[in-house]
Structures are given as structure tokens and as C-alpha cells.
Amino acid sequence: MSRQEVSILSVTQLNTLIKAAFDHVPALQNVCVRGEISNYKLYPSGHHYFTLKDAEGSLKCVLFKSNAAGLRFRPQNGTSVLAVGRVSVYPRDGAYQLYCTRLIPDGTGELQLAFEQLKQRLYEEGIFELSHKKQLPALPQRIGIVTSPAGAAIHDMLRILGSRYPLAKVILLPVRVQGESAAGEIAGAIAYANRKSLCDLLIVGRGGGSIEDLWAFNEEIVARAIYTSEIPVISAVGHEPDVSISDFAADLRAATPSNAAELAVPDRAELYARLETLQKSMSAALRRLSQLSRSRLEAIASAPALRDPAMLIRNRRLALDQLTEDLIRAEREKLTEARTELARLAAALDAMSPLKVLERGYACVRDEEGRVIQTAAAARQEAALELRFRDGSLRVRPEET
């Protein structure tokens, strides 16, 4: 190419040239591209602008209002789609883009797929087990917050914590919440809080954003740090419909950072009410106790012993009289019995008396010493015998008969 042949072009002229070149390639006039939507924006004009992405590249796209009428779904970041249209150049930007005529959802996107696969794997490993979920402290002492020190999320959380439960101390662990290093920083902060027993509750999260913005909270390293944390973790990622892997791994999932602050602490108003209830139960219990004491006192005061003490003595005296009488009767009975027994014995003795035999005409023979002689042979030995009759004694001499 010689120097003479070079003509000077304006930017517009070049862009127009390039546009014309694009427009003459038949292959670019009707394409169908598979990609994942990101940077999605719906303008008030009704035109949709977004970028289609895959692992390596990205492609600017527009879907004009006139073509958007046929949309069967609401395009969202992360949705994988098939975009049909033609490729052309937008001369003002000097950039080529896909002018879509149709947009068709294409199952699940790559990130969505990665998300689902990781979720499934961690689920099977038991990382999301409900039995592993830790109880949150009823009254947190120190709340560690792992988030960006700059975002709106930290403001929202501090405002709500301050108005609900200002007794807690908040320790901010500043981290990047998006980009390459985010996941490592978040996981590191969670591990650090545990190593130092920094707090008794952790809130981990960030405000809303695209699926790429929130991606750190879908990383395995973050999920594992949350799972391993001895300190209970509330996950607070994005806005209500956003669900992250962190949400599943956490002990409690909050819809938003503000919601996390609400779930983390009791409301001051409830605590005032609880104190009032306690004070009331205390008063009621004391009233009951003093009533009980009063009625016990009344019961004691109305006991017979205190009403008429002399009666006690009267009662005792009556009992004593009764006992004395019993004693006398018992003694008398014993004496009578003894007398009867004596008469019986005397009669028996009398019946057996030897004098009674003499009465009947017998005599008793005795030697001089008074021993009874019972045989003739014994009598023959004696020089003298004594005969005893009923009316007296007679001294005799034995003779041979």
C-alpha cells in the first residue's frame, strides 16, 4: 500500500465503513447466540439493554421495545438465554452489538449451574444440615459484622441495631464483598472471629447486586467457613429474592442486611415490656405471700389453746382424776382377789390336818423324842411310848402280845 493511497477518514466515516462491512456478512444477519444475561437494564423507553456472557467473552445486546413485546419471561441477570438477531455496529460508540429480535430462556446459566452443582454437593456433604444449625444468643453481647465498611448495608444494620438493642457492642470486620479476593477475605474474617472468640454472633453479608456481584457468597470457601464457625452466623446477602450458598450454610438466613439486624437482637420495646411483666409478677407473688402469712397468723390466733388457755388445765385435771380413780379401783380388786385365795388355802390346809384324824377316834404313837412309831417292831424297841389322843397324851410301856 503506497502512501498516496491513504485517505484521511473521520471517525464517523470509519465507523460507517465498518458498519457496512458487518452488514454485508450474511452470517451476521441471522445469528442465534447462547449466553448468560448480565448488566441487564430496562430503560423507561421500553428498550432492554444487557450483556451476554460466557466463560471467556461478552457481547453487548439490545432488544428494542418493538421486539420485546414477544418476551415470554422477564430477563434477569444470570439467566442463560438464546438470543436471535443480527450483529451490527453502533456508530456512535464504535461498538458492535447484537440487535435481538427474540430472546429465549435456555435452561440454566453457567453460574446458575455452578451454583446448583455446588449446592447439591454441599447438601450431600451435610453442610446445610438443620441439626448442625446453632442457636442464636437471645441477648448478643458482641456482634461481629463481616461486610464492606463502605456499603449501604453496614449503615442499615448499624441504624437498626442502635435503635433496637444499643447494649450490644458491634465489631466490624471490613472485607471486600466482590471481586477476586472477596471470598478469601470473607472466609478469613469468619475464621479470625472464631480464633479470637471475638463475638457471640456473626452477620455475614452485603447489599444487593447482580449475580456476579453476589458471587463471593456462593463460593465454597465461604460456605465452609460459615459451616465451621463455632459462632452462630446470620447470612444477609442481597435482596429478598437472592439466595446464596451462604444462606444455606448459615444458622439463620436473613432476606436483607436490615433484616439480619432485626433478627440478631431483640427490640428494646419488648425488653421494656418483659421488665414490666417481671415487676408485676414480683408484686403479685409478694401480695400472695403476705396474704398467706396473714391467714396463717389468723389460723394460729383462733386455735383453742390461745382462745382459752385455762381449758388446757381443766382438761388435764379431768384426766388426772380419771387416772386416780382407775388406780384405786385396780388396787381394791387386787386385795379382794388375795383374800379369796387365802380362804381357799386355809380350808385345804384344815382338811389335811392330823388333828382331824384324832377327832375321828384314832391315836398317834410316838417315841420319847416325839418321832412317830408306825410298826409294832419299832414299838418293841422302845422303853416307853407316848399315845396321843384327841384330848391329850398318855405315857405307856409296851408288853409282848
Partner 1 sequence: MARTKSQSFEANISRLEEIVRRLDDGSVPLEDAIKLFQEGTELTARCNKLLDQAELEVVKLTKGPDGTIEEVPFANAEFE
| Beta strand pairing call for 233-237 and 201-206 | parallel
The bridge status of strand 233-237 relative to strand 252-254 is parallel
Residues near partner 1 (CB under 8 A), total: 39
Q: Are 146 and 202 in contact (CB under 8 A)?
A: yes
Q: Which three cell numbers stand for residue 162?
A: 442502635
Q: In angstroms, what is the minimal distance from the CB of 202 to partner 1? A: 13
Residues 317-356 that bind partner 1 (CB under 8 A): none
Find the binder of partner 1 among 29, 283, 324, 340 (CB under 8 A): 283
Burial class of residue 223 (count of CB atoms within 10 Å of its CB; 0-12, 13-18, 19+): buried
Local structure of 233: helix, strand or coil: strand
Query: Considering only residues 61, 81, 153, 168, which one is a binding residue for partner 1 as defined by CB under 8 A?
Result: 168
Stretch that binds partner 1, among 162-170, 205-213, 309-317, 325-333 (CB under 8 A): 162-170
Question: If residue 194 lies in a helix (H) or strand (E), which one and from where to where?
Answer: helix 182-195
CA distances to 145, 182, 256, 380 from 153, rounded to whole Å, are 10, 16, 8, 155
Nearest to partner 1 of 154, 373 (CB atom): 154
H or E segment and range at residue 274: helix 268-301
Nearer to partner 1, 140 or 207 (CB): 140
User: In the complex with partner 1, which residue's Cβ is closer, 285 or 311?
Assistant: 285
- 105 near partner 1, rule: CB under 8 A: no
Name the segment binding partner 1 (CB under 8 A); options: 12-20, 27-35, 136-144, 321-329.
Answer: 136-144
Asked if residue 364 binds partner 1 (CB under 8 A), the reply is no
Distance CA 102, CA 63 (A): 8
Least spacing, CB of residue 186 vs partner 1, in Å: 14
- Judged by CB under 8 A, the residue of 41, 65, 132, 155 near partner 1 is 155
DSSP label of 295? H
In angstroms, the CA 22 to CA 88 distance is 6
Residue 295 near partner 1 by CB under 8 A: no
Cβ 78 to partner 1 shortest distance, Å? 31
Q: Which of residues 184-203 bind partner 1 (CB under 8 A)?
A: 192
Residue from 20, 95, 104, 139 touching partner 1 (CB under 8 A): that is 139
Asked if residue 293 binds partner 1 (CB under 8 A), the reply is yes
Q: Which of residues 13, 290, 295, 315 is near partner 1 by CB under 8 A?
A: 290
Q: What b/e sequence results for 234-268 when a residue is b if at least 16 CB atoms lie within 10 Å of its CB, and e otherwise? A: bbbbbeeebbbbbbbbbbbbbbbbbbbbbbbbeee
Options 47, 102, 142, 390; binder of partner 1; rule CB under 8 A = 142
3-state helix, strand, coil in the chain (%, to 5): 45, 20, 30
Residue with cell 459462632: 231
Site string for partner 1, 234-273 (x = CB under 8 A): ----------------------------------x--xx-
- Contact residues toward partner 1 (CB under 8 A) are 139-142, 149, 154-155, 158-159, 161-162, 165-174, 192, 268, 271-272, 274-275, 278-279, 281-283, 285-286, 288-290, 292-293
